[in-house]
Amino acid sequence: MARALLIIDVQNDFTEGGALGVDGGAAVAAGVTELLRSHPDRYDLVIASRDWHNDSDDNGGHFAQDAAPDYVTTWPVHCVSGTRGAEYHPALDESLIDVHIKKGQGVPAYSIYEGTADDGRTLTRVLDDAAVTDVEVVGIATDYCVRASALDALGDGRGVTVLTDLIAGVAAESSERALHELRAAGAVVTPLVE
C-alpha cells in the first residue's frame, strides 16, 4: 500500500492576478510546499496536474471566442502552453514533484485523469505502477478541477482524502456543494492531520 499526493492545477492563471485567479490560490501553493518540506516521507509519490491548452484554437470549445464566456463550459483564454499563466505558481516548489500531468491540449479537461504524464502514461497507470491505493487531493479549484479529480480517483478505486486547508474554490456556495458531493461519494473531506 502506498499513498500519493495529487496537486491539482496550482498555476499562475488560477491564482490571484491570473486569467481565472481564485482567492487563496497563492496560499495553497505555499501550503503545499510547506506540507511536502515538513513531511518528506508522508507520500510515496507526488503528482501535479496542469492545464496545458493550445494557443491556436478554442480547445474544443473550452475557450470562449465568439461570445462572452459562460463560466460553466466556456472560459476566457487561460493556461496556454508555454506561457507564464500555465506555469506552476512560484510558491509551489516544483522540485518536490515526481510526476507532471498535462491536461487539456486541445480539448476541455477538468480532472487530472484526463491528462497524461510526460512519458505518455495515464494517471491510473502511474498510480498502479507505484502500487498507490490512497490519494490525498489538494489544489485549485475546489468546485471544478479538484472536484472532478477526486471523483475520478474514487471511480478508479482509490481511497480519497481532500485536504480542505489546501484547496481554493471559485465560489463559496459551489465549493461547499462540491465538498458535500465528495463526502457523499465516499471521500474523506478534512483539514490536514499531521
Q: Is there a catalytic annotation at residue 165?
A: no
**Single-letter amino acid code for the residue at 1:** M
Scan for cell 489544489, then name that residue: 139
Burial of 14 (0-12, 13-18, 19+ CB in 10 A): buried
Q: Is 145 among the residues known to form the active site?
A: yes
Active-site annotation holder among 51, 79, 102, 103: 103
Catalytic residue among 79, 102, 143, 145: 145
Sheet with 99-104: list strands edge to edge.
116-117, 99-104, 45-52, 2-8, 132-140, 159-168, 188-190
Q: Does the annotation count 9 as an active-site position?
A: yes
- State the catalytic residues: 9, 103, 145
